[in-house]
Amino acid sequence: MKLYFWIATLLLVASHASAEPFAAADAKAGKALVDKNCISCHAASFGGDGSAIYTREYRKVKSPKGLVAQIRNCNTNLGLKWFEDEELNVAKYLNQTYYKFTE
């Protein structure tokens, strides 16, 4: 019986470790950052609030890791100098709202 408990615990820990890299981030803080820094450009090309860039048929981002990488690209291009936790907050927000990769 005890063995089953440990196997279950290990599985739980393992599945948690392989979850999206931003599982513990703060989506609300991420939204504030996106609203402030990220909409103008996307909106200029896609109209509305620009969010169609995240849901377009040929969107570039295909995985949680890819999402973090793309956020880092746009962030670096813009010279925003975000900290990693800010990038992860934004990743969490965009994932919850648009990409919906499973945690």
Residues that bind ligand HEC (CB under 6 A): 34, 37-38, 40-42, 53-54, 59-61, 67, 70-71, 74-75, 78, 80, 90, 94
Spatial distance between the Cα atoms of 40 and 48, rounded to a whole number of angstroms = 10
Query: CB under 8 Å to 10, separation ≥6 — which residues?
Result: none
To ligand HEC, the closest distance from the beta carbon of 1 in angstroms equals: 47
We find the least distance from the C-beta atom of residue 90 to ligand HEC, in angstroms, to be 5
Whether 20 and 95 have beta carbons less than 8 Å apart is answered as yes
Q: Is the CB of 13 or the CB of 78 nearer to ligand HEC?
A: 78
